[in-house]
Every structure is written in C-alpha cells, then in structure tokens.
Chains A and B, each alone.
Chain A
C-alpha cells in the first residue's frame, strides 16, 4: 500500500531543501551521494518532469526511475518539497513503520516508480517501460532514469545501453550523475559509452540549473538521450 500523506501537501522552494535534508540526517552513511543528486532531482521535478502528486498514476505522466537508490535523502527531500511526501514522513526516515528507508521502495511511496538499491537495475527496467510505451502507442511520456558513474560499472547497464540505442528508444533519457566515484573511472568519458551505441549526449554542471535543464531537453527524435550531470566529487 503506497504511503499517502494525511496532512495537506505543500509546495516548497529550492531554499527549503537544506531544511528538509536536516530531517533526514540519520542517513549519514550515504551523505556524499545524497548531496550529489540534490540539484538533479530539483531540476527534474521543478522544471522537466510532467508529473505532479495528482498525476502520479496518470498513464501520460513522465516516469522518473531513480536507479542509484543509495543516498535517497535528496530524492525524498525534493519529493517532499513538491508535495509527493509529507514533511512528517521525512521525520520518520528509517523507522520500522516509515515509508522511507535507506533505499526507496516504490511499493511504499506514491509517485516513486521503482524500488532500487541494488545497482544496475533502473536503466534495464526503463528500457522495458519505454518498450511498453512504444507497444501501446503512448508517445508523450518520457522515461527518465537517474544513475551514477559508479553504478555504470554494472554490466547490466551496458546491455540496456546497447539495446536502447539499436532500437532507437527516443522517449528514454538516462541521466548519469558523475561524482567521479567509479573505482577505475571512465577514461574515454561516460558520454562515449552511450554515444557509441547511438545515443545523443549532453553534459552540464548540476549546479547550473539552466544548463542542466537544456541538456536534458536536448533529446532528439529517433534516439535515446544521455546526460552527464557533473557534481563535485
């Protein structure tokens, strides 16, 4: 049963995010990865995604799949700021009866598309969802997957990158948050892993919200699109 807030939900601005994150401080273990995605989630929910708490089940909504489920504090904070979660829920973070754990579970939170935590699952699922949208003739929704540069080491991602490129899944967008955490790095660049399989690519600093929005919206018909979002290591 998905969690729904009992109190009226409010919309809060970017300046409230640090305060919301304070409520989630027990996630200290995952702090760096939490901070790395805060701007990315904000830009997605504030500017890009066609989804609101009222349309979280609408078949025409955009789907946001958070694949790097570790360090979900920034994700939860943005969901609360945008009214998908109550502020009270943030304060329950990690408790036995909380909908919010150290990895998100879509079965517990309305508006969360998948459960994640084990790396390398989000993009392959996103490929399946893009194929389903194609098979059912829905052209409007986008499937956007947020992943990490470290996560990109999982081989399952490369199965997904290759197939999405070959099949031209143009409603699919991968956003790779690059905080340079991949143990052996990506000497040829992260974008080349996608580009060589036929994806369009773009890059932006996550802290430059205008640039990040432009990079995401640079998707073109006929090809999937990858965005490398640079954050501080």
Chain B
C-alpha cells in the first residue's frame, strides 16, 4: 500500500512533469494551490501554474484558451466544481472548440462525507459521458494515477482522471480490462470499476463468479467486456452514480439476451455526514451491501 494519497501523487508527478514538459500548464481555482506551492511548482513555473481564484467557469475557459495556443492544460479541483459547475465551459470551450485538456478531480462521490452534498458529485462520470471524445479514468490506486497521468500528459485529447480517497490494496494495469479472479465457464462476470474492486473481491470471496477490473470507463471497453462475458450474466459495480455505464454495457452485450445488474450510488439526497465508510454502507457499496445485491440477483436467475 502506497503511503501517498492519489491526490498527493497527482501533485508530485504533475509538478515534476512541469519541469520537463514546457507544453504543460496547471490551472487551479484556489483549491489545490497549496500542494503545488509546497512542491515548488508555482515558484519554478509562475507562468504555467495558474490560479484563477474562486472562478471555476474561468478555470475551464482559460484551459481552453491555453490549449488553443498549443499548451496541454491540467485542470484540478473538487469534482463538483470541476465538472458540474462549469459544465457548459467543458462542453463548449474544450469540446466544441475541439481542443484537449486533462481534468483531474479530487473528492470522489462520498469522499467529502463531512462536507455534504455541495462537495459531492457522484454524477460526474455520467455527465462527461454525454460529451463526445472524453476519456474517463477511475483509478483505484496511486500507482495507476501516476501511469494514467504520464500517458495523458503526452496526449492531446480531452480526458478526466477521478482521484479518490478510497484505494485498492494492489495496483492493476490501466486502460484495459483485467481478470482478477477466474471463474468457471458460465459463471457470472462481475466488473469492478476503480476503488470498488477490493469491496467486490471481499463480497465475492466464496462465490463462483469471475471478477474483472477496469479503471477506464469512457470510451467503454466494449470489445474486451464482450470477450470476457461470453454468455454469462454480468454485474458492474461503479463507485459513482448507479447505471452510469449500463447503456454502453448493454450495447456491448447486445448480441444475445442476458441479465445485467448495475450497482452504484443511487440518485438520492442522503443528507448524512459521518465517514466515507458510513456513506459506502448507506449506499450498499460496502462488501456486505454488494453481497446482498449479488445474492438477490443470482437467486433470481
């Protein structure tokens, strides 16, 4: 287990990359500024570590302008302020202008359990899924974050990396679907996305199911999932809004009838504080909750 959080890894790796890649620029809206200052990036690259103040629309538009001039902007904030508040800027000033940017959020789903709904955006992946050409990565380990960052720094497209306080014990390969636990022929396939994997492994330890891991959900890896599913029932566990990937999953498996179960955060106003673990349990995304849903789904087969 890494001692660095995903966010600490993001800040360190990005600050280092600024030293070697002159195309790279970081755009912030007050949130995250301290980390880049501590890493010395602001002092070393005052023109490429840009803090616009608490102005999230401007944060995205500035990234669009930087990209139009050939730079590679990395934009970072809390998920609701990065994705939801300036959504039209993401749609138009990046997408419609047809320029690239790397958006990196912190505060996934219920990470900010104490802060309340204002600081939570479980719908972020679903929203970005409505936009053409956005890659969406949901890493489950700081090592995966670093690998994804290095790949995306070198690209020119639009991408989203969703950092989370929840971390799996082991890093897995990124941008592919990886079998974590083999099943027997015909066993249901459980797809675990990002930080949901360890809960899924715990929930299914004594079940006859196959478990596969993926952290890149847009574009949805349809061909890989189709190859692994091979006629079995399919379950997907996403640590964000439930049903976010149901449509591309169903589309990937349209060749024959089969049963699907999609677990995630239900679209409700929980109005509770406490810990992320308590939120996970309330949403039925802890190992016990996932097991209950699986038992019910498998019993109905």
A residues touching B (Cβ–Cβ < 8 Å)? 105-107, 113-115, 118, 120-121, 124-136, 155-156, 159-160, 162-163
Contacts and interface: CB of A to CB of B under 8 A. Distances in A.
Interface size class of B (residues with CB under 8 A): 20 to 34
B168 interface: no
Interface stretch (B53-61, B145-153, B213-221): B53-61
Given A118-B88, A131-B50, 20 more contacts: A114-B97, A115-B92, A124-B89, A125-B64, A125-B68, A125-B97, A128-B64, A129-B65, A130-B65, A132-B69, A132-B71, A133-B69, A135-B47, A136-B70, A156-B89, A159-B55, A159-B58, A162-B53, A163-B52, A163-B58
A127 B65 contact: yes
What 6 pairs across the A-B complex have the smallest Cβ distances? A128-B65, A124-B61, A132-B69, A128-B62, A159-B55, A159-B58
Contacts of A128: 61-69, 73
B52 A159 contact: yes
B69 A136 contact: yes
B93 interface: yes
Contact of B96 (A115, A126, A156, A163): A115
Contact of A131 (B57, B66, B70): B66
B97 A106 contact: yes
Contacts of B52: 159, 163
6 contacts: A124-B57, A124-B62, A130-B65, A135-B48, A136-B69, A163-B52
B96 A131 contact: no
Contacts of A113: 68
B98 interface: yes
A163 B73 CA distance: 18
B55 A163 contact: yes
Main secondary structure of the interface of A (DSSP, over half): helix
B58 A121 contact: no
A124 B88 CA distance: 13
Interface in B62-106: 62-71, 73, 88-89, 92-93, 96-98
Nearest to B29: A159
Nearest to A126: B65
Contacts of A107: 97-98
Point out which of B53, B66, B69, B92 has the most chain A C-beta atoms below 10 A from its C-beta. B69
B25 interface: yes
Contacts of A126: 65
Interface in B17-44: 25
B69 to A, nearest CB: 3
A147 to B, nearest CB: 13
Point out which of A114, A155, A159, A162 has the most chain B C-beta atoms below 10 A from its C-beta. A159
A128 B57 CA distance: 12
B96 A132 contact: no
Contacts of B93: 121, 124-125
A130 B61 CA distance: 12
Interface string B139-162: 000000000000000000000000
A126 B68 CA distance: 10
A207 B98 CA distance: 35
Given A107-B98, A132-B65, A163-B55, A121 B70 contact: no
A118 B89 CA distance: 10
B112 to A, nearest CB: 24
A132 B89 contact: no
A57 B47 CA distance: 24
